[in-house]
Amino acid sequence: MRVKFFVLVAALAASVLAAYAGTVDQTKLVPPESFEGIADAEARSAAIFTELGKVLTHPRCVNCHPAGDRPRQGDEGRLHQPPVARGPDGHGREALRCQTCHQQANFEPGRMPGNSEWHLAPREMAWEGKTLGEICRQIKDPARNGGRKVEELIHHIGTDTLVGWAWKPGFGRTPAPGTQAEAGALVEAWVKTGAACPSK
C-alpha cells in the first residue's frame, strides 16, 4: 500500500511538473518556494534541479560544455566558427587562443561575447547530449566537477563571473533564463533539500 501511495505521489508530481513546464515562460526561473507543494523531499529536490536545468541546458551553458573539443556558438548551438579547439589548457590551441577574440568583456559593436575567464569547461564537465539526470550526477561527482563539494556549487553557479556572463551575453544571444541570483537560489535550495537528481 505504501509503495502504491509513493508511486501515486511521484506520478502526480511529475504531471504537475509537466503541466507546469508547458504553461511557464521558459525565459524565467521560478523561486524555490514554488516547489514547497511537493511533499516528498527527494522529489522536491529533483524538481528544483529540473528547474535549474533550464539554465544548465541553455545554449549559453551547453555551448562551452561540449562533448568534444570544439565549442559551439549561437542560440542554435552550431559548431564554433572559425574552427577552434580546446587545446591543452582549455583556452585554445597556440594558433588561436580564446582570448584573442573573446576579451575581458562583451564587445557589442562586433557582437563578440567576452569575459576575463573565457575558456572551455574540461571534458569531464561536458553536458552536451546528456540528460538532466546525467548532468546532475556528474555535477555532484567530485571526480568530475573539479573536486567541489556540493555546497561550493552554490557559489560557482550563483556568483562566478564567467557563469554570470550567461545572463548578459550581448546582442544576438538569448540570455539564460531568470537571473544569476535566482539560479543561485535554486542551487542553494537544491543542496539544502539533499541534492537529489532527477531519475532520468
Partner 1 sequence: MTTLALTINGRAYGPTEVRDELSMNDFLREYLGLTGTKFGCGAAQCLSCAIIVDNPDGTSTTSPTCVVAAANFNGKAIRTDEGHARGNELSALQKAFIEHFAFQCGYCTAGFLNEGQVLLERLARKPVARVDLETTIAEALDGHLCRCTGYVKYHEAVRDVILADPKRYLV
Partner 2 sequence: MDLGRLKGALEPAVVVTADDLARIGTRVPAFYAGDLLCPIGKTPLYLGQPVALLIFEHFDAFDQARLALRDGTFVRFGEETGPIVGPNYGAFRFTRVAGPTPDAPDVYSPIQAGWISPARIQDSALPVWSPLARQTPANYAKGAVYGEQIRAELAAKDPTLLVLDREFETQSVDPMFLEPEAGLAWFSGDSSKLELVLGVQSPYDAAEAVAFMLGKARAPFKPARINSHFAYMGGGFGGRDHTPFMLYLALAGMFFPGRPVRLAHDRYQQFQGGIKRHAFKMRSQIGVDRTTGKIRAFAADHVLDGGGLANYSPNVATVAAAAAIGIYDVPKLDVTTVALHSRGVTAGSMRGYGTLQTMTALEVLIDETSAALSLDPIEFRRRNALGPNGRTMTGNPYTVSVRTPEILDKLEKHPIWRDRAQEKALGAQGGKLVGTGVACVTKDYGSGADCSFGKIEIDREGRISIHCDHVEMGTAVGTAVANRVALHLGAVADEITLAQIDAFDELALVTSGDPYTMDQKTQDAAARNPRWVPSLSTVTTASIGAHVGTQAAAEAARVILRFGLWPAALELWRIPATDPRAKQWETAAWKDGHLTMPDLAPLPLARLAATAHSRNLVTGASTHAFSRWAWSRARFQVAGVSWTADIDALAVRRGDGKFQRLDRSSVAFPPTDNNRIGATYTSLCGTLVRVEIERASGALNIAKAYSVLECGRTLVPEVVRGQAQGGFAMGVGYALLESLPPYEGGPGNGQWNLGQYLIARGSDLPLRDLEIEMLPPLTPDEPPKGMAEVVMIPVVPALLNAIFDATGHRFQSLPVTQKILKGALA
Residues that bind partner 2 (CB under 8 A): 73-74, 78, 81-83, 108-109, 171-172
Among 15, 27, 104, 161, binds partner 1 (CB under 8 A): 104
Nearest to 51 by CA among 192, 190, 180, 193: 190
Residue 103 is a binding residue for partner 1 (CB under 8 A): yes
In Å, what is the CA distance from 22 to each residue of 8, 26, 121, 144, 179?
A: 21, 9, 31, 32, 21
Nearest to 117 by CA among 79, 91, 139, 95: 91
Residue 104: contacted member of partner 1, partner 2, none (CB under 5 to 8 Å, by partner type): partner 1
Question: For residue 36, what is its C-alpha cell?
Answer: 514547497
Among 9, 31, 97, 130, binds partner 1 (CB under 8 A): 97
CB atoms within 10 A of CB 155: 14
Residue 33: contacted member of partner 1, partner 2, none (CB under 5 to 8 Å, by partner type): none
Q: Which helix (H) or strand (E) holds 72?
A: strand 72-73
Residue 91 is a binding residue for partner 1 (CB under 8 A): no
Pick the closer one to partner 1 by CB: 34 or 103.
103
- DSSP state, residue 94: T
Is residue 5 classed exposed, middle or buried when 0-12, 13-18 and 19+ CB atoms within 10 A define those classes?
exposed
Smallest distance, Å, CB 81 to partner 2?
Answer: 5
Smallest distance, Å, CB 127 to partner 1?
Answer: 25
Smallest distance, Å, CB 51 to partner 2?
Answer: 29
Among 25, 94, 143, 147, binds partner 1 (CB under 8 A): 94
Smallest distance, Å, CB 64 to partner 2?
Answer: 15
Smallest distance, Å, CB 21 to partner 2?
Answer: 26
